[in-house]
């Protein structure tokens, strides 16, 4: 374990070796899906997907998302326990981006930036909901009347 609460060496190995990777986040309910598989018609994929209710549901959603590919033997996953900016500062996001660009070319860099922006936006929305006592949260303070 290090300052990030993870074995960064192990997480790096997962990022560098997984065919399909799902990153769960402590604050955001959605997941980051990275599929490094390629063929002559499709390159690698990175995107934000809803939380799956089960492993079977995740495999089914992957099949719908990437129908030209057979199901992978396994889907690797890890939980990021901190904020998105810390994810970037840790160097893990850069590793993901480098791997995708090496497989699919420079356009994947722009796609990675879009996805990271979406993750930042999701996090901000979730934090504001927590502060305001929004759906799924209970406010600790009531405004005096």
pLDDT digits (tens, 9 = 90+) for 72-94: 999 999 999 999 999 999 999 99
For residue 103, the model assigns a pLDDT of 96
For residue 1, the model assigns a pLDDT of 45
**Does 122 fall in a domain?**
yes
**Does 100 fall in a domain?**
yes
**Does 121 fall in a domain?**
yes
**Does 143 fall in a domain?**
no
- Find the radius of gyration of the CA atoms of the chain: 17
Domain count, the chain: 1
Residue 145 pLDDT class (50, 70, 90 cuts): low
pLDDT(133) > 80:
no
| Other Cβ atoms within 10 Å of 28 Cβ, number | 24
Residue 142 pLDDT class (50, 70, 90 cuts): low
Give residue 61's domain range: 8-132
**Does 139 fall in a domain?**
no
If DSSP codes are grouped into helix, strand and coil, which group holds residue 48? strand
CB 89 within 8 A of CB 8: no
**Does 103 fall in a domain?**
yes
62 burial via Cβ count (<10 Å: 0-12, 13-18, 19+): buried
**Does 144 fall in a domain?**
no
- Average per-residue pLDDT in the chain? 91
């Amino acid at each position: 374990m290090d300052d990030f609460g993870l074995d960064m060496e192990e997480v790096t190995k997962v990022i560098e070796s997984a065919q399909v990777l799902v990153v769960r986040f402590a604050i955001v309910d959605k997941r980051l899906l990275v599929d490094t598989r390629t063929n002559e018609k499709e390159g690698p994929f990175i995107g934000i997907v809803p939380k799956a209710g089960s492993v079977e549901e995740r495999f089914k959603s992957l099949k719908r998302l990437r129908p030209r590919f057979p199901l992978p033997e396994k889907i690797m996953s890890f939980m990021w326990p901190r904020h998105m900016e810390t994810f970037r500062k840790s160097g893990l996001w850069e590793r993901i981006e480098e791997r995708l660009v090496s497989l699919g070319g420079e356009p994947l860099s722009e796609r990675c930036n879009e996805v990271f922006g979406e993750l930042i936006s999701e996090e901000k929305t979730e934090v504001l909901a927590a502060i305001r006592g929004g759906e799924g949260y209970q406010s600790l303070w009531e405004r005096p009347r």
